[in-house]
Amino acid sequence: MINNEKVETVQDISLGTPYNVILFNDEDHTMNEVMDQIMKAITCSREQAAAIMFEAHFTGRAIVWTGHLERAEHIAAVLEEIRLGTKVEPC
């Protein structure tokens, strides 16, 4: 028997304001240490981690990840495990 009930869908779901995880340039760790921690935090390739690390190195800061607040705070905490400078800010 087929159920003919009407299913209503919700289309405009808001997940809230997105947040950026900012990584600041670091003079206390090697480039490899920073890349390793970025890969651990966001599960990315070495090439992606290198691009983020170099952006922070040359410009003073880089966006590591953008998304919902709870995940952003978790990613920042992983980066801070080795005392990297971070900030979580709304986009």
- For 28-67, the pLDDT digits (tens) are 999 999 999 999 999 999 999 999 999 999 999 999 999 9
Backbone angles phi, psi at 34, to 5 degrees: -65, -45
Let me know: does 88 contact 70? Beta carbons within 8 Å: no
pLDDT, position 61 = 98
Q: Which two tokens stand for residue 49?
A: 């981690």
Look at residue 25 and tell me if it is in a domain. no
Q: Which of 5-9, 22-26, 34-38 has the lowest mean pLDDT?
A: 5-9
Q: Is residue 24 in a domain?
A: no
Domain count, the chain: 1
> What was the pLDDT predicted at 40?
98
Determine the residue type at 75.
I
Question: Does residue 16 fall inside a structural domain?
Answer: no
Structure tokens at 90: 């709304």
- Residue 9 inside a domain? The answer is no
70, part of any domain: yes
Q: Is the pLDDT of residue 5 over 70?
A: no
State how far the Cα of 44 lies from the Cα of 50, in Å rounded to an integer. Answer: 10
Res. 1: pLDDT tops 80: no
> What's the pLDDT at 16?
82
